[in-house]
Amino acid sequence: MTAAPDRPVAVVTGGTRGIGLAIARDLAPTHLVVVGGRSADAVHRLASSLPSGGGLVADFADVSPGGSLDRALAEVGQRLDRVDVLVHSAGVLRSGTVAQSPASDWLESMTVNVVAVEMVTQALLPALRRAHGLVLAVNSGSGLVSGASSGAYCASKFALRALTDALREEERGNGVRVTSLHPGRVDTDMQHELVDFEGADYDAGAYLDVASVVQAARFAMAAPPGASVDMLSVRPRGWREP
């Protein structure tokens, strides 16, 4: 895929489910969308359903030199002359106490939620600079406040916030904007996994709907050239700090 000059390009990781899927579909009418995900079938099925789409198939936990993510990024980087929007929505949730969580949960959380984000951003940074593009990282309320039984996930989201803060300052002079988006609990598959772990009943009405997060993302994307939406925090109405 080579981007047409009159059509902006969006790359969305984690684009086959949850928030990433909703953002990819929202951008499809106006952008060339490259969808990233681990399942080749899911990536290709979604890409073929979009008006103009492509796929980035990679295991975001495989960050080794020459590994799955490395190869996919090399291929996509060769195809894209510019990237107007890069949305980081790929992520894993590992729950458990510090006393009981295996080291593998912490390693996977940091690898997928932080290291892979850095790798994707670095690979696409030349194309982002050419477009004066936007990097939008879908973080979490857990990137602002940590809690019991969520140390690995929260640590990775705090680290992601540090990464985006650093990137924002480094790239201001290159015209690249960076937004850290912090939704509260959202009605997605990941939320079902968390509630199952907690042993609670699932009440979709207690959580944000995905459309609200998409609107927040669009707000950041729609900022005029002279403005940067550095951080957005979105919570369900009536939500209170625990």
Q: Is 153 a catalytic residue?
A: yes
Question: How many other CB atoms sit within 10 Å of the CB of residue 153?
Answer: 27
Give dist(CA 76, CA 74) in Å, integer. 6
E strands, the chain, in order: 9-13, 32-37, 53-57, 85-88, 134-138, 177-183, 231-234
Looking from the CA of 195 toward its CB, the CA atoms found within 13 Å total 15
Catalytic residue among 153, 182, 190, 221: 153
Under 8 Å CB-to-CB from 121, ≥6 apart: which residues? 86, 88, 128, 135, 167
Residue 6 main-chain phi, psi, to 5 deg: -100, 10
User: The tokens 């540090």 sit on which residue?
Assistant: 162
Residue 206 main-chain phi, psi, to 5 deg: -85, -5
Active-site amino acid positions: 153
